[in-house]
Amino acid sequence: MKVLKNEEMRKLDEIAINTYKIPGIILMENAGISVVEEIEKSLASKENKKIAVISGLGNNGGDGFVITRHLMNKGIQVITYIVGDTSMIKGDAKINFDILEKMKAFIVKLESSEDIIQFQEDLQQYSILVDALLGTGLQRTVEGIMREVILKMNASKKEIIAVDIPSGINGNDGKVQGVAVEAKKTITFQLPKIGNILFPGSYYGGALLVKNIGIPKEAVSLIQSKIHLITEEVAASVLSKRYGDTHKGSYGRAFIIAGSVGMSGAAILASKTALRCGAGLLRTAVPESLIPILENQLIEGITVPVKEMLDKGIINYLKEENVVAIGPGCGRSQEFEEILHTVITSARLPLVIDADGLNLLANNIHLLKDLKAPCIITPHPGEMSRLTGLSIQEVNDHRLEVAKNFSEKWGVITLLKGARTVITDPQGQIFINRTGNPGMATAGSGDVLTGMITGLLSQGVEPLQAAIVSAYLHGKAGDRAAEELGEYSMLAGDIIDQVPFVIQEIIRA
């Protein structure tokens, strides 16, 4: 699913109106009706059926006027508050405002401090507040009366349903423009906007629902957005059912180089997950002292002493493999640095670099120019900071741009972990993942993700698809674990335990 910037959504509206001759007021009508449908669902469980629609002067406010009209027609008690001078309302919004006046709708104007005092008192009588104030086009800081209205809405602790995007959130980056509405649910139209997806905008928006408002699919296809939301349909297109006449060789050979003294867990977690994600045969290379630990924990995989791999020649050792992953828990020894150098510059099979592999790579980033095969890197913001020389704050503030620029510069697939994992490729495509939760911020979670990518790559999944689907599966398994155990108590191993159930659900869907 495409994710749009503000200007791309405006262009889509223009195409619908000018090329397909769909009047803008029809799109506004459909938008308002889709919100009313969700309001009715929320009202079903409430004794108090009284609604307040808080509208601005632009098209978002126009959506609010449509919502008020349809609620009135359904016999639902509704009051509309309008922030600002109503003489400034124009176009399709003005048509819908005039209809409300002719219907003798209960309209309250909020223009002064005294109005805000009364508004604060009034809010206690409603069960649901509808935020139709500002919409996606906001670029400036919210100030004055509008700021006070938003603060009072949040302070009321009432359920808020936002129209298109919570007012105060920048549609292009999800940032808060001074203050923002804290919604329980957001109904956005036709396609999500970046501000609906990225934090903190996603947090302020609550549950996100994307509603079709009648723009033709052909019109949507004309918007050449390179930003995409990862959906279950994408995962289902990759995770196919297995046929009867297969064997372990049909599902590939995976090789993981991981672990060091005190970090055997990273090797175990990555290896177990690769097997859980379907790798036919797995070999894991670790320091010889860790072999007994892995033999005890990883009975389905094959363990290899790193020394044996070095003695026989790393590339010779990898010639029968389908993928190699390197880095989880490896430490930063000179021996490992030499292994990493050889694998990056000489291996001719898909490569996954994580953790300590990335930390060492940061000291010699130009090695990536010598890659002989597709490469996926999986940094968290700290590792990305070391790879790019940017601060962690800069990485987090510009996640899409940082990952995209790195992929384009170095020719790798970048999976930037964090709240809203981002995957980018050398062609400038961006994929955003919405699954996952704060409980996954625990040691070993990244090793699990590396194992997922490795397991899918071993089966011949294309590298970009492997990164995209693994991000989705990782978060989905984490969400299941959180439902069962709570976010405080989750461990990385709990994510692995949920992987089989998530894969089953996707394949059966």
User: Angle 492-508/463-485 helices, nearest 10 degrees?
Assistant: 110
Encode 473-488 in three state secondary structure: HHHHHHHHHHHHHCCC
Q: Are strands 413-416 and 422-424 parallel, antiparallel or unpaired?
A: antiparallel
Contact 205, 171 (CB under 8 A): no
Residue ranges of the annotated binding site for AMP are 417-421, 446
Residue ranges of the annotated binding site for (6S)-NADPHX are 59-63, 135-141, 164, 266, 329, 380, 447
- Report the distance separating Cα 305 and Cα 221, nearest Å: 52
**Is 243 exposed, middle or buried (CB count within 10 Å of its CB: 0-12, 13-18, 19+)?**
exposed
Contact 388, 406 (CB under 8 A): yes
Which residues, at least 6 apart from 99, have a Cβ–Cβ distance to it below 8 Å? 65, 69
In order of 117, 139, 166, 215, the CA distances from 9 in angstroms are: 36, 15, 16, 11
What is the biggest distance separating any 2 CA atoms in the chain, rounded to whole angstroms? 87
Our measurement of the distance from residue 327's CA atom to the centroid of its chain's CA atoms, rounded to an integer in Å, reads 25
Amino acid at 311: D
Closest CA to 268 of 239, 292, 240, 238: 292
Residue ranges of the annotated binding site for K(+) are 60, 131, 167
Amino acid at 416: L
Closest CA to 101 of 115, 90, 112, 86: 86
Residue ranges of the annotated binding site are 59-63, 131, 135-141, 164, 167, 266, 329, 380, 417-421, 446-447
Closest CA to 309 of 284, 280, 273: 284
